[in-house]
């Protein structure tokens, strides 16, 4: 690259992964990272555990400071610096650094602008005590509110993985918690028995769980703080604090205004080298879409690990004019795992509904198996649901259990990545010893059940 070097917009997972990879590829190139908030390089995934009190402070989530990047890697990271406009035809980005506006040239640019939490504009959503959780500053506001007002009751809106984690966090703080979800599922695709197991666990830990009901507004108390949540069926319940976890949207304003192509999912369209439709402009992380290897569609899959890996790919390609650089992002299979009190709930690939809407002639089969040898103390049940097509190709897996789920789901993720059939899964030589698995591992048992059905 030339003397302008690489400019990166966004200083969290994807942006800083890209900066470090670009530095590895090019030891001398100027690299600038612009971040509009005051926070960089932190693990947003840890926020619920700070709220729970398990992790002592928000500062524990910070990996590195701007000084670290400057002194150790010669990367200039500017906080409080917002990219306002991107002009790809001039290779310039207009930025505001605190109050001053200026134009910054670049040889290559990476958009790592992430996503923003959705807050539906319901009556009362702007009341004090109603929160979304996405960035460090959200965590700071929420913790300050808890310190200052000592809430006794809370409502969590949305049973996505963040909603589940937040309900648990509030219970750990001693709040009475109600979780309201408008659909009949948790984590957007866990339905039926898997959903029931998760809901039973939450209820056993004191969370009131309401499915199929929509929150329609919030009411305040005399102090102007949120006090009640209203639902579509006319129900009203008390909540001194509300945490909204109904999803996120990609931050694409810069890209869209600059004329970059936006995909059907609403996120920035990139190729496997993370190149956007504008020459010299790359995108990585929660702001862009990815290839779903099972459906073959380009989807939006905003999660931490894909964000870092897309950052590596964008950084390597942006730093090198050598077209033989083989940095490519292989795509996702849609793997997620969440801890819900004493449970591990995970999914990978497509649910039955998703598989059918992607055009597969799909079926599903459920099975239950022990987590350890029957005679070994402490065994519990692992519930599995496999989705396959008529040829026996694995399309998706969902698992819930008290142990052995978070790692096992990765076997399914690897199988999906490789396009394996259930009969191939059933032949795998998996680890066995009584404390860790029954002689026939739950994965083999589930594959066996799916083979018999197909
Ligand atoms: C509570 C919570 C729990 C999570 N748990 C998990 C988990 O368990 N597993 C998992 O895989 N993922 C999890 N995630 C998701 C994960 O944190 C995100 O996928 C990841 O942070 C995405 O990184 P990113 O760099 O693409 O985007 P972001 O983290 O959103 O960072 C983008 C940055 O760009 C900045 N920016 C945007 N526009 C501009 C601009 N114009 N100028 C300057 N700066 C700009 C933003 O301020 C932001 O700091 C969780 C997220 C949250 C909030």
**Ligand 1 mean position to 162 CA, how many Å?**
13
Q: Is 163 in the pocket of ligand 1 (CB under 6 A)?
A: no
Query: Using 50, 70 and 90 to split pLDDT, how confident is the model at 231?
Result: very high
Residue 148 φ then ψ, to 5°: -80, -35
With a CB cutoff of 8 Å and minimum separation 6, the contacts of 47 are: 58, 61, 133, 136, 138, 139
**Ligand 1 mean position to 428 CA, how many Å?**
36
Q: How wide is the angle at C-alpha 218 spanned by C-alphas 213 and 222, nearest 5°?
A: 150
pLDDT digits 0-9 by tens, 291-333: 999 999 999 999 999 999 999 999 999 998 666 667 999 999 9
Judge whether residue 189 has pLDDT over 90: no
**Ligand 1 mean position to 306 CA, how many Å?**
11
pLDDT number for residue 260: 98
Q: How wide is the angle at C-alpha 255 spanned by C-alphas 90 and 75, nearest 5°?
A: 70
Work out the average pLDDT over 1-6: 83
pLDDT number for residue 108: 97
Work out the average pLDDT over 250-261: 98
Closest CA to 260 of 287, 278, 283: 278
Work out the average pLDDT over 275-300: 97
Catalytic residues: 45
pLDDT number for residue 351: 94
pLDDT number for residue 321: 65
How many Å apart are CA 172 and CA 151, to the nearest integer? 13
Sign of CA dihedral 136, 119, 197, 392: negative
How many Å apart are CA 411 and CA 415, to the nearest integer? 6
pLDDT digits 0-9 by tens, 376-386: 999 999 999 99
Judge whether residue 100 has pLDDT over 70: yes
Q: Is 14 in the pocket of ligand 1 (CB under 6 A)?
A: yes
Q: Is 113 in the pocket of ligand 1 (CB under 6 A)?
A: yes
Q: Is 244 in the pocket of ligand 1 (CB under 6 A)?
A: no
Label residues 218-251 b or e (16+ Cβ within 10 Å = b).
beeeeeebbbbbbbeeeeeeebbbbbbbbbbebb
For residues 110 and 32, the answer to whether their CB atoms sit within 8 Å is no
pLDDT number for residue 323: 63
DSSP-assigned letter for residue 59: G
pLDDT digits 0-9 by tens, 51-61: 999 999 999 99
Q: Which protein residue has the closest C-alpha to ligand 1 atom 24? A: 114
**β-bridge partners, 179:** 156, 209
Calculate the alpha carbon distances from 316 to 113, 274, 310 in Å.
18, 10, 10
Say what the pTM is. 0.95
Q: Is 111 in the pocket of ligand 1 (CB under 6 A)?
A: no
pLDDT number for residue 324: 65
Closest atom of ligand 1 relative to the 14 alpha carbon: 25
pLDDT number for residue 290: 96
Query: Using 50, 70 and 90 to split pLDDT, how confident is the model at 452?
Result: confident
**Ligand 1 mean position to 286 CA, how many Å?**
7
Q: Is 305 in the pocket of ligand 1 (CB under 6 A)?
A: yes
Q: Is 307 in the pocket of ligand 1 (CB under 6 A)?
A: yes
Work out the average pLDDT over 214-224: 95
**Ligand 1 mean position to 135 CA, how many Å?**
7
Judge whether residue 36 has pLDDT over 80: yes
For residues 129 and 151, the answer to whether their CB atoms sit within 8 Å is yes
Query: Using 50, 70 and 90 to split pLDDT, how confident is the model at 406?
Result: very high
Choice from 8, 11, 12 to test ligand 1 binding pocket (greatest atom count within 8 A of CB): 12
* Cα 223 → chain centroid: 35
Closest atom of ligand 1 relative to the 303 alpha carbon: 19
**β-bridge partners, 104:** 93
Judge whether residue 348 has pLDDT over 80: yes
Mean pLDDT computed over every residue of the chain: 95
């Amino acid at each position: 690259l030339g003397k302008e070097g690489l400019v990166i917009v966004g200083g969290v997972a994807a942006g800083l992964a890209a900066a470090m990879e670009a530095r590895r590829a090019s030891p001398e190139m100027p690299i600038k990272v612009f971040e509009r908030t005051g926070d960089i390089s932190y693990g947003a995934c840890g926020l619920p555990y700070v709220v729970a009190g398990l992790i002592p402070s928000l500062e524990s989530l910070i990996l590195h400071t701007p000084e670290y990047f400057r002194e150790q890697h010669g990367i200039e990271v500017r906080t409080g610096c917002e990219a306002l406009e991107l002009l790809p035809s001039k290779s310039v980005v207009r930025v505001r650094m605190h109050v001053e506006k200026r134009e910054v040239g670049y040889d290559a640019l990476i958009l790592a602008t992430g996503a923003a939490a959705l807050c539906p504009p319901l009556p009362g959503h702007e009341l004090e005590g109603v929160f979304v959780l996405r960035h460090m500053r959200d965590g700071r506001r929420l913790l300050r509110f808890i310190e200052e007002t000592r809430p006794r009751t809370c409502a969590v809106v949305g049973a996505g993985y963040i909603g589940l984690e937040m309900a648990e966090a509030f219970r750990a703080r001693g709040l009475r918690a109600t979780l309201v979800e408008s659909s009949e599922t948790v984590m957007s695709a866990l339905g039926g028995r898997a959903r029931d197991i998760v809901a039973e666990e939450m209820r056993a830990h004191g969370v009131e769980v309401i499915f199929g009901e929509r929150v329609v507004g919030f009411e305040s108390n005399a102090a102007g703080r949120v006090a009640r949540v209203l639902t579509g069926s006319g129900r009203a319940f008390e909540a001194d604090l509300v945490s909204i976890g109904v999803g996120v949207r990609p931050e694409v304003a810069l890209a869209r205004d600059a004329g970059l192509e936006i995909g059907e999912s609403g996120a920035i369209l990139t190729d496997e080298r993370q190149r956007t439709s504008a020459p010299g402009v790359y995108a990585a992380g929660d702001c862009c879409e990815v290839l779903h290897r099972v459906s073959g569609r380009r989807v939006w899959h905003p999660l931490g690990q894909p964000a870092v890996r897309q950052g590596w790919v964008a950084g390597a390609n942006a730093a090198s004019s050598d077209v033989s650089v083989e940095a490519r992002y292989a795509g996702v299979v849609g793997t997620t795992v969440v801890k819900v009190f004493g449970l591990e709930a995970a999914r990978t690939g497509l649910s039955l509904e998703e598989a059918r809407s992607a055009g597969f002639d799909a079926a599903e089969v459920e099975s239950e198996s022990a987590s350890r040898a029957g005679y070994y103390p402490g065994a519990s049940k692992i519930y599995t649901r496999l989705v396959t097509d008529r040829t026996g190709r694995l399309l998706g897996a969902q698992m819930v259990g008290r142990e052995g789920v978070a790692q096992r789901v990765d076997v399914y993720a690897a199988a999906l990545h490789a396009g394996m059939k259930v009969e191939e899964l059933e032949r795998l030589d998996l680890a066995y010893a009584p404390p860790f698995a029954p002689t026939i591992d739950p994965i083999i048992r589930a594959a066996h059940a799916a083979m018999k059905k197909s």
